[in-house]
Amino acid sequence: MNDVKGKQGQKWFYTDTVKDHFFNPRNILKTQEEVDKYKADGVGIVGSPACGDMMRIWIKMDKKHDRIKECKFQTFGCASAIASTSVLTVMVTENGGMKLDDALKLKPHDITNRLEGLPARKIHCSVLGDKALRAAINDYFRKSGQIDRIVEDGAKVIDKILKITDRDIEEAVLEGAHTFEQLQKKTKIGIQDKSCIPEAKELLETFKKKYFG
């Protein structure tokens, strides 16, 4: 197995797998006409083209076996965003399709492992991919009346004045904030609500360890 951690530490280089999925993306809807014609069981959208990467994922279900039969995508973003979403669609549809319960358990490191690593500052792209997939699955649950199966991403408010959550801290770390000063510059956490600083620092270290070892 390749040393994913080592590859993540390379700031400027993409693996051959990343380049393959960027130059030859699988399961991508290339035109608005293709989007309009595609009849999905669930659709998930995360991000915003106004401020960075955006991903949209469509899923079709094998309802009898509770598996993802097809998974299509569009991504507005960089090579890492395109490659991450492309490989994710392959992961959830290969070998007869992934069971929904297993798909909901997919984590960013599962995607980066399949890509044989991403540059450290691009790992957040794989986070958007698994969030978009969860959103599509939840959309399917709502449309099919399986409300009890919906899995919401819980976010705990850490800075109660600026309403900054643990998810905001996680995303800041993935985008390169590895010191509290960098975190504060990016999110403004703790500037007004000083009481949250110890918990914010603890979460910073937790997410650094989780994603960067």
Q: Which residue has the tokens 């039969």?
A: 69
In 77-183, the DSSP E strands lie at 157-159, 164-165
Q: With H, G, I as helix, E, B as strand and everything else as coil, classify residue 38.
A: coil
Burial of 122 from C-beta contacts in 10 A (0-12 / 13-18 / 19+): buried
Task: Give the residue among 42, 53, 109 at the shortest CA–CA distance from 77.
Answer: 53
Task: Give the residue among 33, 55, 32, 28 at the shortest CA–CA distance from 44.
Answer: 55
Annotated active-site residue 196? The verdict is no
Other residues' Cβ atoms within 10 Å of the Cβ of residue 120: 18
- Distance between CA atoms of residues 23 and 3, nearest Å: 23
Cβ proximity of 203 and 172 under 8 Å? no
- Distance between CA atoms of residues 195 and 172, nearest Å: 20
Catalytic residue among 71, 78, 125, 196: 125
Residues assigned a catalytic role: 51, 125
